[in-house]
Amino acid sequence: MNRSQKRIVVLLSFVACAFLSALGYYGFNTYQEFMNKPLGASAPQFPDPSMPATWTPTVGGPLGVVTYAPTISFDSTATPRPICGGVGVMNVLAVGADSRSDTYEYGLADVIRLVRVDFSNQKVAVLEFPRDLWVEIPYIADNINGQDHEKLNQAYLYGQPGDGFAYWDDPSRGPGLLALTMDINFGVKTDHYISVNMRTFVNVVNAVGGIEINIPNEEYADSTGLDVGKHHLNGDQALKVARNREESTFARVDNQNLVLCSVRKKIASPEVVTQIPELIASFQDNIFTDMTPQQLSQLACLGTKIKPENITFASFPEELFKESRIMDPVFDKRVFVWDVDFNILRDYVAQFQAGTWPNNSPSIESAEEDSVGVVCE
């Protein structure tokens, strides 16, 4: 090889390196853009107009007591560094829609949960909201003859574009309208939302090879329709257990918590945990969320590292609720609703979002014990 040929080889080598570097830079930027791009529109938020500007929750105080005096507290304990690349605390509105289609055009909010994800202390708390709460729903009065109240689960339906609803035109649709409804009624502040329909839930359970569920006693056996002992459930069977409400609405919540604990345990198992990136990629188009693929990966990462005892499912104390009926002009009949003091629920929500309730310490009050449901094994 003569000198001229060597120069050409060297020049071509530099060109190739520059091309590969540019390609790598472009590929990295494209990947980063994809991972950080929200999969849906964020839900708008606004201040609660029903409370004075000076209102603050009684964080750490007696539940159900509201104070209008500012509360200031100081905590000298250093906050641990968040893991998995997540933020300190993330509040997620999780919705299980009763639609069996592949789309999110319609459906009621069959399951409504507020999920507090703490990446710093590696804890997850899940608070269940009953569907049959008679609430104020914004933006619907012009569409149903001035009526601005309906059941909580219908806030999701009225925000969806299908079946002639779409009572508001925000791109966050049903989850966004539900988030606003929970904000003005209960003071819920959500950072993100995730909506999963029944078909997607079934497919996710099947994709991980089904779940193992343990029925601990006869009470759960009556509630779930399964015998006491361990069972392997496929997606359809898991959905049936989660939707079973023959015993009561509150028993149905415990059934759902058992199933969710089992799903979490299976996803964190060695045979599944390595498949998490592929699972996220395959199902991210089948859920409706404003989270980014990176944030979904962060949640999955936390799920594999968190201790089971640090996952708590909470419900408002059952004794707060009384059965009632109210005239619903939309259906032109009296419908079942829960009669409950929303101020008390707002205080529970405030303490839940502050991370001070539920408290699983031995000194927990009896009312709080009743409100803490399943703790994952």
Question: What domains, with CATH codes, occur in the chain?
Answer: 48-375 (3.40.630.190)
Asked whether residue 234 carries a pLDDT value surpassing 70, the answer given is: yes
pLDDT at 164: 67
The least confident of 42-51, 276-285, 357-366 is 357-366
Among 49-53, 165-169, 283-287, 308-312, top mean pLDDT goes to 308-312
Q: State the burial class of residue 129 (Cβ atoms within 10 Å of its Cβ: 0-12, 13-18, 19+).
A: buried
Percent of the chain with pLDDT over 90: 40
Q: What dihedral angle (degrees, nearest 10) is formed by the CA atoms of 176, 111, 299, 291?
A: -20
Burial of 334 (0-12, 13-18, 19+ CB in 10 A): exposed
Largest CA distance in the chain: 96
∠ at Cα 133 (45, 252), nearest 5°? 110
Q: Between the CA of residue 76 and those of 72, 79, 118, 352, what are the distances in Å?
A: 13, 9, 18, 21
Burial of 16 (0-12, 13-18, 19+ CB in 10 A): exposed
Model pLDDT, residue 370: 45
**pLDDT score at 356:** 94
Look at residue 161 and tell me whether its pLDDT is greater than 60: yes
Assign 185 to helix, strand or coil: helix
| Mean predicted confidence (pLDDT) in 305-328 | 92
Mean pLDDT of 76-94: 88
Is the predicted pLDDT of residue 60 greater than 80, yes or no? no
Residue 169 pLDDT: 82
**pLDDT tens digits along 102-111:** 677 878 998 9
Model-level pTM? 0.78
Q: Which amino acid is at 281?
A: A
Q: Please, what is the average pLDDT of the chain?
A: 80
Among 19-28, 122-131, 285-294, the range of highest mean pLDDT = 122-131
Q: In angstroms, what CA-CA distances link 322 with 152, 154, 364?
A: 16, 20, 24
Specify the pLDDT at position 107. Answer: 85
- Mean pLDDT in residue range 232-240: 93
